[in-house]
């Protein structure tokens, strides 16, 4: 195994050399948004300086080049997810936008009164609210897969929930609070045995591990660019052609039509059918560059390195008096949520910031997870390829300082 050269990687990320409160920045909130390497920043700047034009419409060179660059990223993303048919890759504004797209375009067509949609208790709000809105609108019911004390889905209950009424399973690949990596392949197999499609929220999956959608077998896989070293404003919806072709369009407008008259509009084929209006061209290019960056290091290497960091961090944090962890499943990604007895998570977050340590505190847009563990909030440290053992040591030292202030 080639050694993971984290110091070299860190030099690619300008922000990691900056300070907060005169302390070197310790960035432990990649679960919310990852930092961008110089190559991604350069790609974005270069586009703005020399390559900008609208796509899919100009016959002049600049527009044709921008179109080619944008479409090349679609090919990059298809390769990244091991998708054979590039038209199955839809550019969206992000995970939230992509889930809403499916909730409208699939949901309003295939989900009717009396039907059921299955989600899990560990979903981010963006994989709950769109389904709840759909259910309210059409008279369907949301069913919820429970989670155990250590943060694993109860697969026996899941299997019992699957029925002829189920029209979709929407489940996260990795929990943004608990870190649990869900057994997507098995869950897809169980759903497919009843011909039920499965949507996977990969916002915390794709950035951290090799994702092969053909292997997983899922019908939809979704992620955001900004959680994987790309810019904001771009996300991906992978969907099987079988479904995308049958789904209604989501947004209407330019670029998604074949012909428009006041009597009737006919729609373009996929992927254009789902990409109305001028897309976030520069963000797509940034995402393409981010994928190239991550692939050059290797998703498998990144996953291995994060496991080492997570193990070290879990052990180091365990030594802290009065700490409680949320999410201790054996198959867990680089996310550690915890509380310190007697100190509110927000106070921890503020005191850690004094030491330059950036963590997320609150409900993490997953209030049902907070309800499950009967806490109003947690502190969450989430790691990525540029974090180090030294970052973990600083986190631990800073928590100990905070604890002293409150004792
Ligand atoms: N799904 C999961 C599992 C997430 O973690 C997030 C964002 C989303 C969906 C929404 O992604 P977006 O790019 O559309 O906003 N999670 C977090 C987080 O954990 N802290 O801030 C955002």
CATH number of the domain enclosing 64:
3.40.640.10
Statement to judge: residues 249 and 395 lie in one domain: no
Statement to judge: residues 213 and 85 lie in one domain: yes
- Predicted pLDDT at 300: 97
Q: Read off the pLDDT of residues 139-159 as tens digits, 9 standing for 90 and up.
A: 999 999 999 999 999 999 999
Find the mean pLDDT for residues 279-305: 98
Statement to judge: residues 53 and 14 lie in one domain: no
Q: Which of 266, 296, 326 delimits the end of a domain?
A: 296
Statement to judge: residues 22 and 79 lie in one domain: no
Statement to judge: residues 397 and 378 lie in one domain: yes
Q: What angle do CA 202, 207, 212 make, to 5 degrees?
A: 60
- Predicted pLDDT at 3: 75
Statement to judge: residues 262 and 272 lie in one domain: yes
User: What is the number of the ligand 1 atom nearest to the C-alpha of 95?
Assistant: 14
Write the residue with the smallest CA distance to atom 5 of ligand 1.
176
> How would you list the strands of the sheet with 323-326, edge to edge?
323-326, 335-340, 378-382, 360-362
Mutate to test the pocket of ligand 1, among 91, 122, 174, 176 (most ligand atoms within 8 A of CB): 176
Roughly how many angstroms between the first and final C-alpha of the chain, as a whole number? 45
Ligand 1 centroid to residue 263 C-alpha, Å: 40
**Quick check: is 201 in a domain?**
yes
Active site residue 135: no
Q: How far is CA 1 from CA 9, 298, 305, 332, in A?
A: 17, 12, 11, 22
Residues 6+ apart with CB under 8 A from 162: 118, 169, 190, 191, 194, 196
Q: Is the distance from CB of 55 to CB of 67 less than 8 angstroms?
A: yes
Q: Which of 265, 281, 296 delimits the end of a domain?
A: 296
User: What total number of domains does the chain contain?
Assistant: 2
Q: How far is CA 351 from CA 186, 291, 401, in A?
A: 42, 35, 8
With a 6 Å cutoff on the Cβ, whether 182 touches ligand 1 is: no
Statement to judge: residues 22 and 163 lie in one domain: no
Question: Is the pLDDT confidence value at 205 over 50?
Answer: yes
pTM, to two decimals: 0.98
Q: Read off the pLDDT of residues 75-113 as tens digits, 9 standing for 90 and up.
A: 999 999 999 999 999 999 999 999 999 999 999 999 999
Statement to judge: residues 226 and 275 lie in one domain: yes
Question: Is the pLDDT confidence value at 287 over 80?
Answer: yes
Among the options 135, 218, 229, 365, which is catalytic?
Answer: 365
- Predicted pLDDT at 244: 98
**Quick check: is 324 in a domain?**
yes
**Quick check: is 35 in a domain?**
no
- Predicted pLDDT at 1: 46
| Domain span including residue 112 | 41-296
Q: How far is CA 52 from CA 131, 253, 256, 285, in A?
A: 37, 21, 21, 11
Q: Which residue has the tokens 């091991």?
A: 82
Q: Read off the pLDDT of residues 40-75 as tens digits, 9 standing for 90 and up.
A: 999 999 999 999 999 998 899 999 999 999 999 999
Mutate to test the pocket of ligand 1, among 224, 363, 377 (most ligand atoms within 8 A of CB): 224
With a 6 Å cutoff on the Cβ, whether 93 touches ligand 1 is: no
**CA atoms in the 13 A half-sphere facing the CB of 392:** 24
Find the mean pLDDT for residues 5-12: 98
The percentage of the chain sitting over the pLDDT mark of 90, rounded to a whole number, equals 98
Ligand 1 centroid to residue 117 C-alpha, Å: 21
**Quick check: is 145 in a domain?**
yes
Beta partners for residue 259, in sequence order? 266
With a 6 Å cutoff on the Cβ, whether 382 touches ligand 1 is: no
With a 6 Å cutoff on the Cβ, whether 360 touches ligand 1 is: yes
**Quick check: is 1 in a domain?**
no
What's the mean pLDDT when you consider all of the chain?
A: 97
**Backbone phi and psi for residue 133, each to the nearest 5 degrees, phi listed first:** -60, -45
- Predicted pLDDT at 2: 53
With a 6 Å cutoff on the Cβ, whether 224 touches ligand 1 is: yes
Statement to judge: residues 239 and 263 lie in one domain: yes
**Quick check: is 125 in a domain?**
yes
Write the residue with the smallest CA distance to atom 4 of ligand 1.
203
**Quick check: is 73 in a domain?**
yes
Question: Is the pLDDT confidence value at 234 over 90?
Answer: yes
Statement to judge: residues 285 and 304 lie in one domain: no
Ligand 1 centroid to residue 306 C-alpha, Å: 19
Question: Is the pLDDT confidence value at 138 over 70?
Answer: yes
Residues 6+ apart with CB under 8 A from 324: 338, 339, 341
- Predicted pLDDT at 407: 80
Statement to judge: residues 142 and 258 lie in one domain: yes
Report how far residue 176's alpha carbon sits from residue 191's, in angstroms, rounded to the nearest whole number: 23
Statement to judge: residues 340 and 261 lie in one domain: no
Q: What is the CATH number of the domain that holds 325?
A: 3.90.1150.10
Question: Is the pLDDT confidence value at 34 over 70?
Answer: yes
Q: Which of 296, 323, 351 delimits the end of a domain?
A: 296
């Amino acid at each position: 195994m080639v050694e993971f050269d984290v110091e070299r990687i860190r030099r690619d990320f300008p922000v990691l050399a900056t300070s907060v409160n005169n302390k070197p920045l310790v960035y432990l909130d990649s679960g919310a948004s990852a930092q961008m390497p110089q190559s991604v920043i350069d790609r974005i700047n270069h586009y703005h300086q020399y390559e900008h034009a609208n796509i899919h419409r100009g016959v002049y060179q600049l527009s044709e080049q921008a179109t080619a660059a944008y479409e090349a990223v679609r090919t990059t993303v298809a390769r990244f997810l091991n998708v054979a048919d590039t038209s199955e890759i839809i550019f969206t504004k992000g995970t939230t936008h992509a889930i809403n797209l499916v909730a409208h375009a699939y949901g309003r067509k295939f989900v009717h009164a009396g039907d059921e949609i299955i989600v899990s208790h560990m979903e981010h709000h963006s994989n709950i609210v769109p389904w709840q809105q759909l259910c309210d609108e059409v008279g369907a019911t949301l069913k919820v897969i429970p989670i155990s004390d250590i943060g694993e889905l109860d697969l026996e209950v899941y299997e019992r929930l699957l029925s002829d009424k189920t029209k979709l399973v929407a489940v996260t690949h990795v929990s943004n609070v608990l870190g649990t990596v869900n057994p997507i392949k098995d869950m897809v197999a169980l759903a497919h045995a009843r011909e039920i499609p499965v949507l996977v929220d990969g916002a915390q999956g794709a950035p951290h591990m090799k994702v092969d959608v053909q292997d997983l077998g899922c019908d939809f896989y979704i992620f955001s660019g900004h959680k994987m070293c790309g810019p904001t404003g771009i996300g991906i919806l992978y969907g099987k052609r079988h479904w995308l072709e049958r789904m209604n369009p989501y947004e209407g407008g330019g670029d998604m039509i074949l012909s428009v008259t006041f009597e009737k509009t006919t729609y373009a084929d996929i992927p254009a059918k789902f990409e109305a209006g001028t897309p976030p061209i520069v963000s797509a290019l940034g995402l393409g560059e981010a994928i190239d960056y991550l692939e050059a290091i290797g998703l498998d290497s990144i996953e291995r390195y994060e496991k080492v960091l997570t193990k070290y961090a879990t052990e180091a944090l365990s030594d802290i008096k009065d700490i409680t962890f949320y999410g201790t499943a054996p198959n867990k990604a680089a996310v550690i949520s915890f509380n310190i007895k007697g100190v509110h998570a927000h106070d921890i977050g503020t005191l850690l910031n004094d030491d330059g340590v950036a963590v997320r505190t609150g409900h993490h847009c997953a209030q049902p997870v907070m309800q499950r563990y009967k806490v109003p909030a947690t502190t969450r440290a989430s790691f990525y390829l540029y974090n180090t053992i030294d970052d973990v040591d600083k986190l631990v030292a800073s928590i100990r300082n905070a604890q002293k202030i409150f004792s």
